Amino acid sequence: DAKTTQPTSMDCAEGRAANLPCNHSTISGNEYVYWYRQIHSQGPQYIIHGLKNNETNEMASLIITEDRKSSTLILPHATLRDTAVYYCIVRFHNAGNMLTFGGGTRLMVKP
């Protein structure tokens, strides 16, 4: 099963882009990369997912390297409300639709 590695914490200035990296060097061809975030004491919130191509939605952009061994979540204009723990997850293809969450990156957006 593919696992992910993320930095434990990051800081970002308000209004600037937040770039959150994730390594998933053992990812297999049919596994997707998902990003969730969790604001303190709330349930996780889905952000974005992708397979090979870069993806963008109203919340963020997801950049996946050509070899798919790493990805970056980009919050283009971080606000104080983006302060949260961000989880990078690789979907296990033989485990139904379960998601396994690691420790994530604690993003602190500062004024």
Partner 1 sequence: DGGITQSPKYLFRKEGQNVTLSCEQNLNHDAMYWYRQDPGQGLRLIYYSQIVNDFQKGDIAEGYSVSREKKESFPLTVTSAQKNPTAFYLCASSRAGGLTDTQYFGPGTRLTVL
User: Taking the complex as a whole, how short is the minimal distance between the CB of residue 46 and partner 1, in angstroms?
Assistant: 5
Tell me which of 14, 72, 102, 108 binds partner 1, using CB under 8 A. 102
Can residue 3 be called a binding residue for partner 1 (CB under 8 A)? Answer: no
Give residues with Cβ within 8 angstroms of 108, minimum separation 6.
9, 10, 11, 12, 83
Residue 46, amino acid: Y
Q: Is 43 in the site for partner 1 (CB under 8 A)?
A: yes
By CB under 8 A, is residue 53 in contact with partner 1?
no
Number of H helices, E strands in the chain: 0, 9
Q: Of residues 29, 41, 67, 81, which one binds partner 1 by CB under 8 A? A: 41
DSSP letter at 62? E
